[in-house]
Chain A
Amino acid sequence: MAREILEIPIIRIEPPKRWEALNLEELKNYRDLFFFLVWRDIKALYAQTVLGFAWAIINPLVQLVIFTIIFGKVAKIETDGIPYTLFTAVAIIPWTYMSGAMTSSAQSLVAGQNMLGKIYFPRLIFPITPVLAKLVDFSISLILLIGILIFYGVTPTLNLLLLPVFLLMMIAVPMTVGMWLSSLAIRFRDVRFAMGFAISMLMYSAPIVYSASAIPDEYRLIYAFNPIVGVIEGYRAVLLGSDIPWNYIVPGICVNVLLLVSGAIYFRRMERVIVDVI
């Protein structure tokens, strides 16, 4: 009882400062809301579809077939001796997640603007929710990936233990994009249009349809600054048992952590004024 009295919170409302510290404690207090918003996203996404969650498999599957035909059979892209379907499948599955999560995270504030003007909760919940919700699709699409791995007789190696690292990296990428772009997207609807071609540019900026070994040595470091490269190459190494390409992964992680933290600070700065900007 005495404890409860001590815990009466005081909310202080003051004009926005230019930069404010992140309040992760508050975010933790709203974890139930997180849960239900993610739940809402998942349930609403496939409402009134015939195929439902099967879409989470069909989408990457179609892409896989197209890439195998165009880049594997017609263009005959060099894949270090790995069958093309296998080579690109381990990349398409995480990429489908990242591109989908990026797009909806960037649009999250626009989609939720009615709520923004009516109720307070940490605004950071908006860009993070779709990033978590899309993980359900990702998990389902893993079925496809596992099927392909078994079909090609790939045997798991100890590399697999590093999978959580690349999972986290994969989640951090769209979260970063969402934090930087969502508050901008609310004022500038241009973001939505730019997002479409930015996604396809990003896809070709990473070794998804081609092999990273095609990049000339002198450009490798610059190339590795793109965190998506690290994620894709990491997945490939972990699942196919090749050497872990740290030279791609370490710069990617550094860049990503930097952008994620600065994105969160930028978002924190914008979150209080978002409503006045709509």
Chain B
Amino acid sequence: MRDQDWAIRVENLGKLYRLGTQDRAEENLVSAIVGALKSPLRNYRKYRSTYDFRDVEALGDDAIDAGDSGAFWALKDISFEVKQGEALGLIGSNGAGKSTLLKVLSRITPPTRGRAEIQGRLNSLLEVGTGFHPELTGRENVFLNGTILGMRRKEVEKKFDAIVDFSGVERFLDTPVKRYSSGMRVRLAFAVAAHLEPEVLIVDEVLAVGDAEFQRKCLDKMQEGGKSGQTVIFVSHSMPAISRLCDRVLLLKNGRVEMDGPTHDVVSAYLTNERPNSAQKQWPDRATAPGGEVARLCAVRLMSEDGAVSETFDIRRPVGVEIHYEVLKGGCSLMPTFSLWNDEGINICVAVDQDKQWRGRPRPPGHYVSTGWIPGNLLAEGVFSVNVTLWTMAPVRRVEFHETDVVAFQTLDTLDGDSARGDFQGNLPGLIRPMLRWTTATDTVRAANG
């Protein structure tokens, strides 16, 4: 019998992960050989350390929080309850722990601590088309994917016509999926997913693919599910989708629940406070700045060619990303990098410092500013956030600091006609918008000349 009206109950859930394990570089031949002989044992320990956290937990929570243990909490002290029929949204910046929480609730990865209970049949959609095989026909893949998602064969049979109808690929049902266009494949996969009828549904950002029309169809279908008493947990970077689907939202930050409340309140708090909307961020206090004994991050700034700090850029002009950091211990060769993310949470690129002066060379202590220039006419219009990472390449390879969503900027197209959109005035999709060199070959010129 269903006791109480809860569907999901999470109590003090925590999950530890190890930070990138270090490989020591050997200094001479003898130690290299000894190292190589010992490596099977070392590899085995490393293997165990990925799932066995007893050593870390023995150090106590204070040591883990201080970052001394080589592990960090991807999730910590997560507690919440979802009522039956409620739609809960999960938001937060990249690396806040949303995906990890979904994976724990989906039973893909176990928690290190705490517990969760789910009452009712559970389906999780972290990806569409899981298990699709290119050699099988559309029909066979519907059955395979449906059973992978947890349906029984009879259920798939019953819903088969509806699935095919929803996907719009009925003519190609007996064609191997490898001959499908990627759009058709996504539509078929979505159609299967949309016909799941579990009591509890967990959905990750899967709606980010597929065309706008199809996305709307899927959102409608999910809303229908909500009305019929289905409990939903939905992760998205798209605030409109969250606002439309969810009654209540959980804001995660650094693996912890930062805010839990009605959708409107949490979304607006997130948009005003959480999202970095400034063009610079500083860490004036060295002791608390990201980094360790080798280097500490001081500031990150976005600037235009004329040196002005800005958060809005003309799409045709370059954007400078300045990383200010202090090297405290000399002798390490460092590699500053940053990555760009768009507002759908898609990683546009990772940029690695190529400056010849310091590449592969040990740096003496001092203050450094590494600047990477994103060329004009490369990014699409939109909002981009920046993650910065400083790597040590030698003598050991490791991450000195890694900060997500540090700064953000917006690109604007003034429609003057000399940007990559040319004379096109409408909505132009695409992750990037580079200016291409175009040529035209024709025989009319020759005809005109002759």
A residues near B (Cβ < 8 Å) are 5-6, 8-16, 30, 32-33, 35-37, 39-40, 43-44, 47-48, 114-121, 187-188, 272-273, 275-277
Residues from chain B with Cβ under 8 Å of A39 in the complex: 140, 144
B148–A117 touching, CB < 8 Å: no
Known pairs A115-B130, A119-B149, A276-B50 / 16 extra A-B pairs, C-beta < 8 Å? A11-B118, A13-B104, A13-B116, A14-B111, A30-B147, A32-B147, A37-B144, A39-B144, A43-B133, A119-B126, A119-B127, A121-B148, A187-B50, A272-B109, A272-B110, A273-B110
A36–B147 touching, CB < 8 Å: yes
A115–B148 touching, CB < 8 Å: yes
B140–A9 touching, CB < 8 Å: no
Residues from chain B with Cβ under 8 Å of A30 in the complex: 147
B118–A36 touching, CB < 8 Å: no
Residues from chain A with Cβ under 8 Å of B302 in the complex: none
Indicate whether A273 sits within 8 Å of B144 (C-beta atoms), given known contacts A13-B105, A15-B111.
no
B110–A15 touching, CB < 8 Å: yes
Which of A16, A32, A120 is in CB contact (< 8 Å) with B108?
A: A120
From residue B193, how far is it (CB to closest CB) to chain A in Å?
A: 11
Q: Is B358 an interface residue (CB 8 A)?
A: no
Q: Is B150 an interface residue (CB 8 A)?
A: yes
Residues from chain B with Cβ under 8 Å of A35 in the complex: 147, 153
Residues from chain B with Cβ under 8 Å of A116 in the complex: 108
Which of A6, A187, A276 is in CB contact (< 8 Å) with B109?
A: A276
B143–A36 touching, CB < 8 Å: yes
B108–A275 touching, CB < 8 Å: yes
A40–B121 touching, CB < 8 Å: no
Residues from chain A with Cβ under 8 Å of B118 in the complex: 10-11, 13
From residue A11, how far is it (CB to closest CB) to chain B in Å?
A: 4
From residue A37, how far is it (CB to closest CB) to chain B in Å?
A: 7
From residue B47, how far is it (CB to closest CB) to chain A in Å?
A: 5
B119–A10 touching, CB < 8 Å: yes
From residue B43, how far is it (CB to closest CB) to chain A in Å?
A: 7
A92 to B17, CA, bound (A): 47
B interface bracket (residues with beta carbon within 8 Å of A)? 35 or more
Q: Is B113 an interface residue (CB 8 A)?
A: yes
**Nearest-CB residue, chain B, relative to A272:** B110
Residues from chain A with Cβ under 8 Å of B121 in the complex: 9
From residue B40, how far is it (CB to closest CB) to chain A in Å?
A: 9
Residues from chain A with Cβ under 8 Å of B130 in the complex: 114-115, 118-119
12 contacts between A and B (CB under 8 A): A9-B120, A12-B115, A12-B116, A32-B153, A36-B153, A40-B136, A43-B133, A44-B133, A117-B108, A118-B130, A119-B108, A119-B148
From residue A278, how far is it (CB to closest CB) to chain B in Å?
A: 9
Residues from chain A with Cβ under 8 Å of B149 in the complex: 119
Q: Is B51 an interface residue (CB 8 A)?
A: yes
B residues near A (Cβ < 8 Å) are 1-2, 17, 43, 47, 50-51, 103-122, 124, 126-127, 130-131, 133, 135-136, 140, 143-144, 147-153, 176, 199
Indicate whether A115 sits within 8 Å of B131 (C-beta atoms), given known contacts A32-B153, A39-B140.
yes
A106 to B226, CA, bound (A): 42
Residues from chain A with Cβ under 8 Å of B51 in the complex: 16, 273, 276-277
A13 to B112, CA, bound (A): 11
A35 to B151, CA, bound (A): 13
From residue A113, how far is it (CB to closest CB) to chain B in Å?
A: 12
A10 to B111, CA, bound (A): 17
A5 to B119, CA, bound (A): 12
A272 to B151, CA, bound (A): 22
From residue B103, how far is it (CB to closest CB) to chain A in Å?
A: 8
B136–A120 touching, CB < 8 Å: no
B1–A277 touching, CB < 8 Å: no
Which of B1, B104, B110 is in CB contact (< 8 Å) with A5?
A: B1
A118–B147 touching, CB < 8 Å: no
Residues from chain A with Cβ under 8 Å of B106 in the complex: 119-120
A39 to B131, CA, bound (A): 13
Residues from chain A with Cβ under 8 Å of B2 in the complex: 5, 8
From residue B205, how far is it (CB to closest CB) to chain A in Å?
A: 13
Indicate whether A275 sits within 8 Å of B109 (C-beta atoms), given known contacts A35-B153, A40-B144.
yes
Q: Which of A6, A35, A121, A276 has the most CB of B within 10 A?
A: A276
Indicate whether A12 sits within 8 Å of B117 (C-beta atoms), given known contacts A32-B147, A43-B140.
yes
A55 to B125, CA, bound (A): 38
From residue A30, how far is it (CB to closest CB) to chain B in Å?
A: 8
Which of A32, A40, A187, A272 is in CB contact (< 8 Å) with B133?
A: A40
Residues from chain B with Cβ under 8 Å of A44 in the complex: 133, 135-136
Residues from chain B with Cβ under 8 Å of A119 in the complex: 106, 108, 124, 126-127, 130-131, 148-149
From residue A7, how far is it (CB to closest CB) to chain B in Å?
A: 10
B108–A8 touching, CB < 8 Å: no
A15–B112 touching, CB < 8 Å: yes
A108 to B79, CA, bound (A): 36
**Nearest-CB residue, chain B, relative to A10:** B119
A277 to B52, CA, bound (A): 10
A118–B108 touching, CB < 8 Å: yes
A36 to B141, CA, bound (A): 9
A10–B107 touching, CB < 8 Å: no
A68 to B239, CA, bound (A): 71
Indicate whether A15 sits within 8 Å of B113 (C-beta atoms), given known contacts A10-B118, A43-B136.
yes
From residue B439, how far is it (CB to closest CB) to chain A in Å?
A: 40
Residues from chain B with Cβ under 8 Å of A48 in the complex: 135
From residue B330, how far is it (CB to closest CB) to chain A in Å?
A: 36
From residue A74, how far is it (CB to closest CB) to chain B in Å?
A: 40
A275 to B17, CA, bound (A): 12
A14–B115 touching, CB < 8 Å: yes
Residues from chain B with Cβ under 8 Å of A33 in the complex: 147-148
B119–A8 touching, CB < 8 Å: yes
From residue B72, how far is it (CB to closest CB) to chain A in Å?
A: 14
